[in-house]
């Protein structure tokens, strides 16, 4: 569903919402009348309240660490800053880029020092897949980890990334980002 002209959007909006709702065991109802409009009702199960004093503490000693260099490509400044702080806190050296074009400029200078590319999937100008294909041409086999607010199923189904691509869905916890980065590095 989109109100955009043909060719003016990815068509992933409702697919993303559907994926997220289903992940939380919810449901969506659609009511539509020609000339009047469309209404989407989203139903999610009620969450249990938790006593904050009983919440388990995160054991920082179990978060995997590293010393490798990570090229972080993310157009959202707040997400880019947060990811950089998480990874730097785990010992990684992080080089940040605000889009695919800036990421390519960094790669031209430092490709041999970069151990992993962490890139957003959907970015203006140069998206994550097109960016990563150019990086892979510079350094074949370089580990690439995609991140997106869309579900992995949605981005694969729409051909944005390959089915076998390394992927982490936003939002993620610092622990899950650290674990996935370490896993991708260790597998390559």
Residues 161, 129 contacting (CB under 8 angstroms): yes
74 C-beta neighbours (distance < 10 Å), count: 24
Specify the pLDDT at position 44.
83
Residue 56 within a domain:
no
Residue by residue, pLDDT tens for the chain (188 residues) are 455 555 555 555 676 677 777 777 788 888 888 888 888 888 888 876 655 555 444 455 678 899 999 999 999 999 999 999 999 999 999 999 999 999 999 999 999 999 999 999 888 888 888 899 999 999 999 999 999 876 666 655 555 666 677 889 888 889 999 999 999 999 98
Residue 21 within a domain:
yes
Residue 54 within a domain:
no
Specify the pLDDT at position 112.
96
Residue 114 within a domain:
yes
Report DSSP state, residue 160.
Answer: S
Return the structure tokens found at 160. 């944005």
DSSP codes of every residue in 49-110 = P--GGGSPPP-GGGS-----EEEEE-S-HHHHHHHHHHHHHTT-EEEEESSHHHHHHHHHHH
- Report d(CA 113, CA 100) in Å as an integer: 18
Radius of gyration of the chain (CA): 19
Nearest to 139 by CA among 167, 106, 98: 106
Residues 179 and 97 both lie in one domain: yes
Residues 126 and 91 both lie in one domain: yes
Specify the pLDDT at position 25.
79
Residues 176, 168 contacting (CB under 8 angstroms): yes
Residues 69 and 158 both lie in one domain: yes
Query: Assign residue 96 a region: left if phi > 0, alpha if psi is -120 to 50, beta otherwise?
Result: beta
Residue 30 within a domain:
yes
Specify the pLDDT at position 79.
92
Specify the pLDDT at position 161.
60
Specify the pLDDT at position 150.
66
Write out the residue range of the structural domain in which residue 39 sits.
1-46
CATH number of the domain that residue 118 is part of:
3.40.50.2300
Residue 28 within a domain:
yes
State if pTM tops 0.85: no
What 3-state class would DSSP assign to 23?
A: helix
């Amino acid at each position: 569903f989109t109100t955009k002209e043909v060719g003016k959007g990815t068509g992933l909006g409702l697919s993303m919402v559907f994926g997220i709702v289903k992940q939380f065991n919810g449901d969506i109802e659609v009511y539509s009348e020609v000339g009047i409009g469309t209404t989407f009702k989203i139903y999610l199960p009620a969450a249990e309240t938790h006593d904050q004093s009983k919440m388990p503490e995160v054991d920082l000693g179990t978060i995997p660490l590293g010393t490798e260099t990570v090229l972080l490509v993310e157009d959202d400044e707040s997400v880019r800053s947060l990811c950089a702080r998480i990874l730097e806190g785990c010992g990684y050296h992080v080089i940040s880029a605000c889009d695919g074009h800036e990421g390519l400029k960094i790669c031209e200078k430092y490709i041999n020092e970069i151990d992993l590319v962490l890139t957003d999937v959907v970015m203006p100008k140069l998206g994550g897949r097109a960016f990563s294909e150019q990086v892979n041409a510079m350094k074949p086999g370089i580990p690439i980890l995609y991140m997106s607010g869309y579900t992995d199923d949605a981005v694969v189904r729409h051909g944005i990334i390959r089915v076998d691509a390394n992927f982490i869905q936003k939002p993620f916890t610092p622990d899950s980002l650290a674990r996935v980065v370490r896993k991708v590095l260790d597998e390559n």
